[in-house]
Structure 1
Amino acid sequence: MNVRRLIPAAALAGAVALGATALTACSGAGAGTGKDGKLDVMSSFYPMQFLAEQIGKDHVKVDTLTKPGVEPHDLEITPKQTGQLGEADVVLYLKGLQPAVDKAVAQSGVKHVVDAAKLTELEVHGSSGHAHEGEAGHTEGEEGHDHAHGEAGEDPHVWLDPVKYAEVAKGVGAALEKADPDHAADYRKNTDELLGKLTALDTEFKDGLRNTASKTFITTHSAFGYLAERYGLDQEGISGVDPESEPSPARMKELQAVAKKDNVSTVFFETLASDKTAKTLATDTGLKTDVLDPLEGITDKSQGADYFEVMRSNLKNLQKALGSK
């Protein structure tokens, strides 16, 4: 994968076809709409909710299974949510991130189901955040990753790379067009506007992280593999892709050595999970702590009100920690 530039127009155009195939059991007719005339979209968690809201705007009513402040990896679906899911016109989720959601979606019987994991290429990332040779790509029928070990399966955190998030956005736009053809032109226009904003964000990250004193960052949650690969950085995760998993004493000792060798100044933690391990490592190594938000949910503790604001806060925090020149 080219990590230095945005996907070409041809690749984005190809995502339209992917978006169409991501819809399961779709008929040619548009989906039913609620009493208010809007398309009812159920999203699995914030990054999917944000896409639906940005692309659907006034034509959709968006709800989410993962409420603000809830850590999405460990989400349990309530009977009420199961019922709401079955009544949705469109379901937008990312298979492999939330086992409970995967199971509920499979049993929902909803006609228009969009799996974001099929709209871009998934990769397997090791602790340094780089794809393993020969292991990239999404294989039909795989159940996703092991939540305790990022290297055991595919990394689902594609939204933290603006380029891959753009691919997903393109596919979501195509899916909404198919579900609600009467408003296809508006969905297309909104998708194009969102892609322009993601292109600009990608440029900001490329320019902002091009010249830094260090390329290595340590984070509680190994969610930043795609971002690290895109911008030439090395992610060292304290835990795996599950932020609640506990690192071994050997891993903590290894990270202390990495911090010293690579001139690491900061240990990052996040807003939705415990900062205990990050602060322990920082204390043991004499490092500072700061926030690097995996954007799995927005709360009043988030450093921004939406995806773009939090991503720009992440960029500033990375620039500060890595010694941007």
Structure 2
Amino acid sequence: MLEELRIQGVRNLAPARLRLGSGFNIFLGPNGAGKTSILEACHLLAMGRSFRTPQLRRVVREGEHYLGVGGDVSDPVTGGRHRLGVEWQGTRRSRLDGQWLKGHAAVAEWLPARVLHAGSFDLVGGGPEERRRLLDWGCFHGVSGYREAWQRWRRAHEQRNAALRQGQTRAAREFEGPLVEAGERITRAREEYVQRWRACTVDAAARLGFSADLDGLDLRLRPGWEQRRSLAEAVERSRAGDEERGFAQVGPQRADLILRLAGRDATEGSRGEQKRLITGLVVGQGLMLMERSGRSPLLLLDDVLSELDRGVASGLIAGLRDLGWQVLMTAVGAGFPGQEGQEPQWFHVEHGRVYEGSDPHVSRPHVPRET
């Protein structure tokens, strides 16, 4: 659970230190007040990247050159507590319990977070990159050894591509062995995950009240090469073309999810059907995380109540309440479907300043530079 969130230098937000509740934390305020930026900061801490832009410099407050987000988390499984941090000053750096890290994976491990926002609902019809991100998040948190295999494959993949670009064909072939070994491992892990993910997505839809909309859900992995061949065979057949083009054309980097509803491609479904599918997939991942590790995700909901029809929105809020997950949610008004019986922690956001409760006159302490 994320107990405290500290923000400095993020978009239009004033420095803030937020004590969060274990259930719903709702950020109210008009459009443009900075509500989404709070969720963006939280996502940056959890994932090492923004869900709004691939360039972190665009997240930095105008006129400043430093961005810092920190947080204190508690783990209900181990009983441990950790202090997380990420900052940007031209490059990103991540910190765990006061120690600077190489990469962000060790921080991400302690704060499993999922986000639903307007762009999430383009996942079905968009390119495969975001679907791979969704899949890899689940495998990272739910399949033992996945992170290490993925890192070995990525290193070999990047080294081979670098050699191909430089025309060093003999050197490129030396990386094919480790690339194939690690690539087949992560593909087996992805296939294992996807098989269970379908059942958990159907379970999530039932908990949220729209199981009938996911009747006939077919969720499968397209590995990134012809399935009737091994990765070793695919790499060998693609070698001449790779050498000509200077990059790999087959492999896990080309993987995708096949999504079908009632025998037809999910892209042919209505906009409402696609939104319910994505909601089910994300909540289904949270159920898998609980099933495999005993931990629940932090769920970030950015104005999703305006994206979902009233029945689905009500079911989502009520279902998350019953699951007991920690939720950070933005909303324009205090009234929304499914909040009956909720005792959320309220925050008011106005002109980039965050106030606890709905009273905008309550002052908030500034977060120090060290996050």
| Structure 2 length-normalised TM | 0.28
Select the structure that is richer in strand.
Answer: 2
Return the structure number with greater relative CO, CA threshold 8 A, min gap 6: 2
Which has the larger Rg? 2
